[in-house]
Structure 1
């Protein structure tokens, strides 16, 4: 973004991403006091280049305000533990999620809302953390020991890929169903 502004390039893709980043900072909860929780101040400073301040404009009010992804999982095998969800783009897939949420299970069903998602291509992976140990467990053969699923519900013969789970967010809310 730094160089783009000096070469008269369109800054709107960068601005959209920065707005979405604010929502990630607002929803982030460090796992402990030793986990980093800094960076929002710098994003707010850079976003001023877009002509947006947190006071004068709600961050994300243009394209991302109101863009909500509702994710439903209708077939959880047990109400024990929690479901853990992660939202990725292509660059972060299976590494550090853009957003993550945890929810309880009631009568074999669970759902979450991911708010203020910027338009773009994303994938969601979720798993049933039945023992609530904050880890996706594997058996002795390296196969998943806990139920899991991903957007688009692809049938895979190997590890998940971004392209098989990819969906597009535009300027409207979206409902997804993930089945285990």
Structure 2
């Protein structure tokens, strides 16, 4: 009886250490995001990509310095391919911009409209307004994904 009592206490004490360490199926999980940008009118300059996650959604799309991750990619034959690897499962969106003159900013006209190419995830159609995170976002989970975006001028 005494041995059974001690065994029960030991089992109770060590059971949290024996259990499954996957508290959440998405905890510490990651996937890769592949982006293909097409419709780039020239190979001059670079494509700048700004990736935003759900924690930084309030900065999309204007505050590019506050984005989650960024890349600057060279253009080849009017197409640009890039990857963000090992991204934690989350909701994301991104913006792309053809920095033709390599001045590290989006050039605009007197009305504030872009004079360089631009694009956003989900290829959302816009008219005289900025996109919001929710309409451009996608969920990155289980599988690696590839998203195609068309550059607009």
What is the TM-score with the length of structure 1 in the denominator? 0.64
Q: How much does 1:12 deviate?
A: 5.5
Unmatched runs of 5 consecutive residues or more in structure 2: 1-21
Q: Who is 1:81 aligned against?
A: 45
Q: Who is 1:141 aligned against?
A: 111
Unmatched runs of 5 consecutive residues or more in structure 1: 1-9, 17-62
Tell me the C-alpha RMSD between the 2 structures.
2.0
Deviations 1:68-88 (A, max 9, x none): 111001210110000000110
Q: Secondary structure at the match of 2:131?
A: coil
Q: Secondary structure at the match of 2:122?
A: coil
Q: Who is 2:130 aligned against?
A: 159
- Give the ranges of 4+ consecutive aligned residues of structure 1 lying more than 6 Å apart after TM superposition: none
What is the TM-score with the length of structure 2 in the denominator? 0.74
* Structure with bigger RCO (C-alpha 8 Å, 6+ apart): 2
Q: How much does 1:135 deviate?
A: 0.6
Q: Which has the higher strand share?
A: 2
Q: State the number of aligned residues.
A: 123
Q: How much does 1:120 deviate?
A: 1.1
Does the Cα contact within 8 Å between 2:54 and 2:90 map onto a contact in 1? no
Taking the aligned partners of 2:41 and 2:74, their CA distance within structure 1 comes to 13
Q: Who is 2:14 aligned against?
A: none
Q: Who is 1:70 aligned against?
A: 34
